[in-house]
Structure 1
Amino acid sequence: MASYSFSAIPISSSTSQPSHGNCSVFSAILPRHLNLYNSFIGCKLTVRLLSSSHLATKHRPALATVQFSLPTPKPKSDSSAKVPKWSARAIKSFTMAELEARKFKYPNTGTETLLMGILVEGTSIAAKFLRANGITLFNVREETVNLLGKSDMYFFSPEHPPLSEPAQRALNWAVEQKLKSGEDGEITTTHMLLGIWSEAESAGHKILETLGFDDEKAKELAKYMDKDYDFNLK
């Protein structure tokens, strides 16, 4: 059998050599398990060889968590229309919002961090519209601290900070607007942003208002409600 090398120490394959002392355990991306004997240090090395399919399942729970955290559209029982889904940009924006909440050590994913998530994702119409109107990630973060303050330095957010009530209502609004429109396509980050704006008492709405967003800009953005990307919008 051919020899395998994991470091500068030569390792030859063998199943007949006895093990001596404490043995190390390595992991590698290969389709099976091998027991390798290191003749230099006299130790049998158990190598766990993981298949690529095993590694692929590692990230599935996180993706499922994100999808289940976003409201699921519920069509009318007598409707045969296809149930709309959240766009890829909207899902990524939500994921980035959770990350921002953890960075700020906040206990919840609020409307303010949903707003940050849209800007961190950065490629959607909503994000481009905000930047075109002078609303940047830096400004939103700064206004968030001014409005909500800093969290206790010893507090640690959960891996997936739960939605605050205003944030949940904002996302529900986005879903409802999509269903009311009767249009094909996905629920976009524009729906998400306008959902934040619909929550007049929320931190996200107040931050947008402070930075110059208003009802006229909301109406202008609503024209792009069912799109998530436009090459002509810079």
Structure 2
Amino acid sequence: MAATNFLSKLSPTNLVLQLDYGRIFHAHLRQPQILDNSWLGTKLWLQPQPNNVRTPVSKFRPLVATVCFSLPTVKPDRVSSGQKVPKWSSNAIKSFAMAELQARKLKYLNTGTESLLMGILDVGTSPASKYLRANGITLFKVRDETSKLLGEADFFNFSPEHPPLTEEAQRALDWAVNQKLNSGHDGEITTIHLLLGIWSEVESPGHKILSTLGFDAEKAKELEALISNPKFTDE
């Protein structure tokens, strides 16, 4: 009844204008809109969507590896004045980031030498990873041995975004830095240095897993001879 009274007050001319405007406006909303994009060199067609359509949002947060640009060391001032500060290679940095990710996947609260070892293998392009795989040491085998040695983490554990290093893992990093400094050579600290740092921690899970899978002192000497070459790179 209210709508009838309202329409009765409009003149025929006003009523036609009102209806036509509404029809035109409604049709405009339903037509695809064209936007010129000079940067792309194309035209973008925007198809209007109904108001009741919502973009689905995932309930699960993706597991993301945050790549850092330097690795933690206990004594950052160990480099004497005038001495060039050695840098970690890009493969070593990626391996460290993957080590943290592996610890989070296993729901461990810390990044240990076993995680550092898995991180090296996760970056398959590095010389250390290639050497290990050539000797039958793979990521899946190391992960399996880790579960046997350390057990499964509590299902309800939630690892921090950057699981802190264990003391053994920290010493492995420091060993790699010291080895590079003592060599007197320029260049970067490589994944081979990191691998040998893990091996230097005799009581650590990483060393025990390497030993179980066939890595020994002879292979360590072979790698030491490799990085003693000043022209060796982590590529």
Superposed CA offset, 1:151-210 (max 9, x none): 001111000111111000000000001001110000000000000000000000000000
Question: How many residues are treated as equivalent by the alignment?
Answer: 181
Superposed CA offset, 1:25-60 (max 9, x none): xxxxxxxxxxxxx8x86xxxxxxxxxxxxxxxxx9x
Separation in structure 2 between the aligned mates of residue 178 and residue 9 of structure 1, nearest angstrom: 66
Give the letter for the 1:206 counterpart: K
Q: Trace 1:124-163 onto structure 2 (pairs within 5 A).
A: 124-163=126-165
Q: In the alignment, is the contact (CA less than 8 A) between 1:73 and 1:175 conserved in 2?
A: no
Q: In the alignment, is the contact (CA less than 8 A) between 1:100 and 1:117 conserved in 2?
A: yes
Q: In the alignment, is the contact (CA less than 8 A) between 1:125 and 1:224 conserved in 2?
A: no
Separation in structure 1 between the aligned mates of residue 70 and residue 233 of structure 2, nearest angstrom: 21
Give the letter for the 2:151 counterpart: G
Separation in structure 1 between the aligned mates of residue 195 and residue 110 of structure 2, nearest angstrom: 18
TM-score, length-normalised on structure 2?
A: 0.69
TM-score, length-normalised on structure 1?
A: 0.69
Matched, 1:85 2:59: no
Separation in structure 2 between the aligned mates of residue 214 and residue 73 of structure 1, nearest angstrom: 33
Change (3 A) 1:9 1:199: farther
Q: Compute the displacement of 1:67 (Å).
A: 3.3
Residue of structure 2 in register with 1:76 after alignment: 80
Q: Compute the displacement of 1:127 (Å).
A: 0.8
Q: Compute the displacement of 1:228 (Å).
A: 4.0
Tell me, which stretches of 5 or more residues in structure 1 are unaligned?
1-7, 14-37, 42-58
Separation in structure 2 between the aligned mates of residue 129 and residue 11 of structure 1, nearest angstrom: 57
Change (3 A) 1:147 1:10: same
Change (3 A) 1:137 1:73: farther
Q: 2:198 is matched with which residue: 187, 193, 196? A: 196
Matched, 1:107 2:126: no
Separation in structure 2 between the aligned mates of residue 117 and residue 9 of structure 1, nearest angstrom: 53
Aligned-residue CA RMSD in angstroms? 3.0
Q: 1:214 is matched with which residue: 213, 216, 219? A: 216
The alignment partner of 2:195 has SS state of: helix
Tell me, which stretches of 5 or more residues in structure 2 are unaligned?
1-29, 36-47, 52-63
Q: In the alignment, is the contact (CA less than 8 A) between 2:99 and 2:120 conserved in 1?
A: yes
Q: In the alignment, is the contact (CA less than 8 A) between 1:189 and 1:228 conserved in 2?
A: no
Q: Trace 1:220-231 onto structure 2 (pairs within 5 A).
A: 220-225=222-227, 227-229=232-234
Give the letter for the 2:118 counterpart: M
Superposed CA offset, 1:68-106 (max 9, x none): 5432473113xx232110000000000000000000000
Change (3 A) 1:119 1:111: same
Percent identity between matched residues is: 62
Separation in structure 2 between the aligned mates of residue 73 and residue 192 of structure 1, nearest angstrom: 20
In our comparison, the structure showing a higher alpha carbon Rg is: 2
Give the letter for the 2:108 counterpart: Y
Superposed CA offset, 1:107-136 (max 9, x none): 001000100000000111111111111111
